[in-house]
Structure 1
Amino acid sequence: MKRLAAAIVALSSLACPLMAAATSLDDVRDIAVAWLKENRSLPGARMEAQADSLDSRLRLADCPARPSASLPGNRPLGARVSVAVHCPVPGGWTVRVPVRVKLFTQVLVTSRPLTRGDGIGAADVHAEERDVASLAYGYIAALDQVDGRSLARPLNAGTVLTPGMLAGRQAVRVGDAVSMEATVEGVTIRADGVALGAGDAGTRVKVRNASSGRVLDAVVSGPGVVAVLP
């Protein structure tokens, strides 16, 4: 009996190293979160990511190589993403990890109500930290992204500026010297003026007559040209 017991102990000691330990589900969740923070964050941004719990019944074999992670289809980052964690060996397992994401960075927010056709200047917007992962329509981080374009629709104060809110480029900007045209009984009269508003062709703006100082209503006709309204 003593010899049999010794043999069993010996066999057990040989078998233990051959039995691969299971991969922890918590490790898989940590890999998904770490990969997101390393590969999907932005310079200067602050990311908060929390992986949801995985099915406790899931059992994963030990992975002899370092597991890899990816966003299937290279999808853009959103408030909820599914990160694929894969054991990169023949027959290796793949687990999709649901992760809730918040990504805080500076975006442009309107400082006052703006109307359709308005240009956007430094006095119209300010920077605020917002969770951009929850902004499904994107955002604008700096004025140079506007690049002379006007608004496609009116905006309330406190609105995060998005690319879809922008129309075409401005034909006239605030402070531009413009040619004011008015047609009286078939005769076109021209005078120099200064634009007090901004917008593309068809946008109604205020202009100041450079000679008299009188402020008039006008419609943008083209680059540097406005038609004075009667």
Structure 2
Amino acid sequence: MIRAAAFAFAVAFTLPAVAGEAPSNARLAAIAVQYMKDHPPVPGARMEVTAEPMDARLALRPCEGTPTAGIPGGRAMGPRVTVAVTCPDSGGWTMRIPLRVKQFMSVLVTTRPLTRGDGLAADDVHAEERDVASMGYGYIANLGQIEGRALARPLRAGTVLAPGMLAGRQAVHNGDSVTILASIDGISVRAEGVALGSGDNGARVMVRNANSGKVLNAIVRSQGSVEVIQ
């Protein structure tokens, strides 16, 4: 009997409202859910939409016209969305149907701890499917969106990258020719080298001295310029 009742509810939930009938809660919910699926806030996302429980005592007049649906204010982002279902008859009614919405997209997640000023390479992140409807600070879907950017703050492994976590463009890129600055016994020395990492001002990178071939720890000081860490 329980299975039969559940099946009957599922069937009713998927049926559209019929003109001239008094719509049940299940029919109203079905209209709202279908509208949401037909108008995804994030195109291409895998959506899961469920209606919140409604007052079982609800009784509406029959609707001669075909009920329509829409989102008040046009705002559909977030894990909770309200869809208004309206009867177009003269003196008709409008019901607001609360929905829970999940939108799954592939986003970039850090694979290891990263420090402020670090540039991001392919091995620093990996793709995971996450519910982006609950990500109020946004997300980043691919490396092309952050090319040349550095981190504005340190991040733990497993952090979903968001636009607000990024600083300006990197001052040094992996493979760039750089000027290596060093201070030896109070004397400033300059040498030419090659960056073995990427980063913004203040980021730590490895560099190779072009003359000696020695690999050194350095800090990015400006565009194309690094200072050796003693």
Q: Which residue pairs with 2:25 in the alignment?
A: 25
| Separation (CA, whole Å) in 2 of partners of 1:56 and 1:43 | 34
CA contact (8 A) 1:115 1:153 kept: yes
| Separation (CA, whole Å) in 1 of partners of 2:203 and 2:190 | 19
**Gap regions ≥5 residues in structure 1:** 1-19
Aligned length: 211
Alignment of 1:200 with 2:200, yes or no, is yes
What is the RMSD computed on CA atoms of the aligned residues?
2.2
Q: CA deviation at 1:43?
A: 4.1
Q: Which residue pairs with 2:110 in the alignment?
A: 110
Q: TM-score, normalised by structure 1?
A: 0.82
SS in 2 for 1:57: coil
CA contact (8 A) 2:118 2:204 kept: no
Q: CA deviation at 1:23?
A: 2.1
- Residue type matched to 1:169 in 2? R
| Separation (CA, whole Å) in 1 of partners of 2:129 and 2:84 | 29
1:76/1:152 CA distance change after superposition, 3 Å:
farther
1:209/1:102 CA distance change after superposition, 3 Å:
same
Q: Deviations over 1:104-136 (max 9, x none)?
A: 121111122211111111111111111112222
CA contact (8 A) 2:196 2:207 kept: yes
Alignment of 1:178-189 (within 5 A): 178-182=178-182, 188-189=188-189
| Separation (CA, whole Å) in 2 of partners of 1:39 and 1:21 | 25
**Gap regions ≥5 residues in structure 2:** 1-19
Q: TM-score, normalised by structure 2?
A: 0.82
Q: Deviations over 1:14-62 (max 9, x none)?
A: xxxxxx5312221111111111111125444211111012112222222
Q: CA deviation at 1:223?
A: 1.9
Q: Deviations over 1:170-216 (max 9, x none)?
A: 11122222122335688653322122232222323222212212222
Q: Which residue pairs with 2:224 in the alignment?
A: 224
Q: Which residue pairs with 1:173 in the alignment?
A: 173
- Residue identity (%): 59
